[in-house]
Amino acid sequence: MPNATDTMPGARTYGLLGYPADLATHAGRVGPLPLPARADRDWGGALIAALEASGLTGRGGAGFPAAIKATAARGKGRGGTIVVNAMEGEPASDKDALLMIRAPHLILDGAQLLAAVSGARSVVVCVPEGRDHVAAAAARAVAERTAARWAPVVETVVRPPDRFVAGEESALVGWIEGGQSLPAFRPDKSVPLRIGRKGALVHNAETLAHVAVIARGGPEAFRSRGLPEDPGTSLVTLSGAVSQPGVVEVDRGTPLIDIVSRATPLGPPQALLVGGYAGAWVAPEHFSTPYASLSLRAIGATAGVGVVVVLGHEACGISETARLAHYLAGQSAGQCGPCVYGLPAIADDLARLAAGHVDPGLPARLDRRLSEVEGRGACRHPDGAVSVVRSALRVFATDVHVHSRGTPCVSWDRPTQLRFPAPPVQVAS
Nearest approach, Cβ of residue 186 and other proteins (Å): 10
Residue 415 and residue 5: Cα distance in Å, rounded? 24
Angle, vertex CA 392, rays to CA 337 and CA 307, nearest 5? 90
- The number of residues that bind other proteins (CB under 8 A) is 17
Contact, 156 vs 111, CB < 8 A? no
Comparing CB distances to other proteins, the nearer of 156 and 335 is 335
Comparing CB distances to other proteins, the nearer of 77 and 377 is 377
* Binding status of residue 376 toward other proteins by CB under 8 A: yes
* Binding status of residue 185 toward other proteins by CB under 8 A: yes
* Binding status of residue 372 toward other proteins by CB under 8 A: yes
List the one residue out of 264, 248, 273 whose CA is nearest residue 90.
Answer: 273
- Which residues 6+ apart lie within 8 Å of 359 measured at CB? 352, 404
Comparing CB distances to other proteins, the nearer of 224 and 335 is 335
Amino acid at site 388: V
Comparing CB distances to other proteins, the nearer of 45 and 337 is 337
Residue 395 and residue 416: Cα distance in Å, rounded? 18
Contact, 266 vs 241, CB < 8 A? yes
Comparing CB distances to other proteins, the nearer of 64 and 185 is 185
Nearest approach, Cβ of residue 345 and other proteins (Å): 8
Query: Around Cβ 29, how many Cβ atoms within 10 Å?
Result: 11
* Binding status of residue 71 toward other proteins by CB under 8 A: no
Nearest approach, Cβ of residue 67 and other proteins (Å): 25
Kindly tell me which residue out of 32, 187, 415, 423 binds other proteins, with binding defined by CB under 8 A. 187
Comparing CB distances to other proteins, the nearer of 53 and 184 is 184
Comparing CB distances to other proteins, the nearer of 32 and 187 is 187
Comparing CB distances to other proteins, the nearer of 258 and 372 is 372
* Span interacting with other proteins, options 18-26, 29-37, 178-186, 348-356, rule CB under 8 A: 178-186
Query: Around Cβ 298, how many Cβ atoms within 10 Å?
Result: 12
Kindly tell me which residue out of 10, 79, 337, 421 binds other proteins, with binding defined by CB under 8 A. 337
Residue 370 and residue 387: Cα distance in Å, rounded? 9
* Binding status of residue 378 toward other proteins by CB under 8 A: yes
* Span interacting with other proteins, options 25-33, 83-91, 194-202, 373-381, rule CB under 8 A: 373-381
Contact, 254 vs 271, CB < 8 A? no
* Binding status of residue 383 toward other proteins by CB under 8 A: no
Q: What is the dihedral of CA 311, 315, 316, 318, to 10 degrees?
A: -50
Nearest approach, Cβ of residue 321 and other proteins (Å): 21
Contact, 304 vs 275, CB < 8 A? yes
* Binding status of residue 174 toward other proteins by CB under 8 A: no
Kindly tell me which residue out of 65, 152, 161, 338 binds other proteins, with binding defined by CB under 8 A. 338
Comparing CB distances to other proteins, the nearer of 102 and 369 is 369
Q: For the chain, give the longest Cα–Cα distance.
A: 74
Nearest approach, Cβ of residue 375 and other proteins (Å): 8
Comparing CB distances to other proteins, the nearer of 341 and 412 is 341
Residue 32 and residue 420: Cα distance in Å, rounded? 41
Helix (H) or strand (E) holding 145, with range, is helix 132-147
Residue 173 and residue 186: Cα distance in Å, rounded? 13
Nearest approach, Cβ of residue 369 and other proteins (Å): 8
* Binding status of residue 224 toward other proteins by CB under 8 A: no
- Which residues 6+ apart lie within 8 Å of 364 measured at CB? none
Nearest approach, Cβ of residue 389 and other proteins (Å): 17
Residue span 278-297 as binding mask against other proteins, x where in contact by CB under 8 A, dash where not: --------------------
Q: 3-class secondary structure for 177-244?
A: CCCCCCCCCCCCCCCCCEECCEEEEEEEHHHHHHHHHHHHHHHHHHHCCEECCEECEEEEEEEECECC
* Binding status of residue 324 toward other proteins by CB under 8 A: no
Residues that bind other proteins (CB under 8 A): 182, 184-185, 187, 335-339, 341-342, 345, 369, 372, 376-378
